Amino acid sequence: MSNNFQLIETIISHLKQSFPNATYELDWETPLQLLVATILAAQCTDERVNKVTKTLFIKYPNAQSYTQVDILELEQDIKPTGFYRNKAKTIQSVCQQLVERFNGEVPNTMAEMVTLPGVARKTANVVLNTAFNMSSGIIVDTHVLRVSQRLGLTKNKNPEKIEQDLMKLVSQDEWTFFGPAVVLHGRYTCTAKNPKCLECNLQTVCEKINIEV
């Protein structure tokens, strides 16, 4: 186990060299904006989400405003992000709950966040880690899932089990850095197809599971 802890320390120090100020690439100013942007970011690039939210956040300034619009109109407003029918439904249901149970505000605990419709630990962690600066857990999105497996930090496939494995390895004061940093590493270096192992600063410690180089 101590080897694993040494390994994770090396990984974190290399990630800090590459991404000293690692943060999510979604644009937001309030916890609600980050929550909505995170819902829209499923199966979509952050760049495209940021284009859509530029006008969306002006049109919908609070949770109540999302609940008062016809769903067909909301669907059109978010259409470029894909899967817009489901996303519009989720945003309206989440905002309805925020208005009814939380006075229109995004709650700042994991226990409350995951009671919101369609909000699992990943989305909750993005909001809690980033908007509230809380070490609630480690975000496990598609990038973190893939990179953690390749590095040999987990043998699990389920995001919540992977998060548990990572939370045991990474010290809690690094959780809010580790998630965004691994997302960026996965987005730009350890890409799904053709990972750039030869230029990767983790290559000496990486087990390269399921990678042919």
Q: Which residues are catalytic?
A: 122, 141
Q: Show the binding pattern over residues 41-60: x = contacts ligand SF4 (CB under 6 A), - = does not.
A: --------------------
- In the bound state with ligand SF4, the residue whose beta carbon lies nearer, of 63 and 153, is 153
- We find the least distance from the C-beta atom of residue 182 to ligand SF4, in angstroms, to be 9
Angle in degrees, CA 196, 202, 203, rounded to 5 = 65
Closest CB to ligand SF4 among residues 75, 174:
174
Q: Identify which of residues 74 and 206 has a Cβ nearer to ligand SF4 in the complex.
A: 206
Identify the CA nearest to 211 among candidates 199, 202, 196: 196
CB-wise, 12 or 69, nearer to ligand SF4?
A: 12
Token pair recorded at residue 68? 């008062």
Residues 110-149 that bind ligand SF4 (CB under 6 A): 147
- Dist. CA 141–CA 146, nearest whole Å: 9
Q: Which long-range contacts (CB under 8 A, 24 or more apart) does 86-92 make?
A: 87/39, 87/40, 87/42, 90/39, 90/117, 90/118, 91/36, 91/39, 91/40, 91/66, 92/66, 92/67
The yes or no reply on residue 189 touching ligand SF4 (CB under 6 A) is: yes
Q: Is the dihedral of CA 150, 35, 84, 91 positive or negative?
A: positive
Q: Is 151 in the site for ligand SF4 (CB under 6 A)?
A: yes
Does residue number 211 form part of the binding site for ligand SF4 (CB under 6 A)? yes
| Candidate list 32, 77, 150, 177; residue touching ligand SF4; CB under 6 A | 150
Q: How far apart are CA 22 and CA 155, in angstroms?
A: 25
Residues of the shown chain interacting with ligand SF4 in the complex, contacts defined by CB under 6 A = 147, 150-151, 189-190, 195-197, 200, 202-203, 206, 208, 211
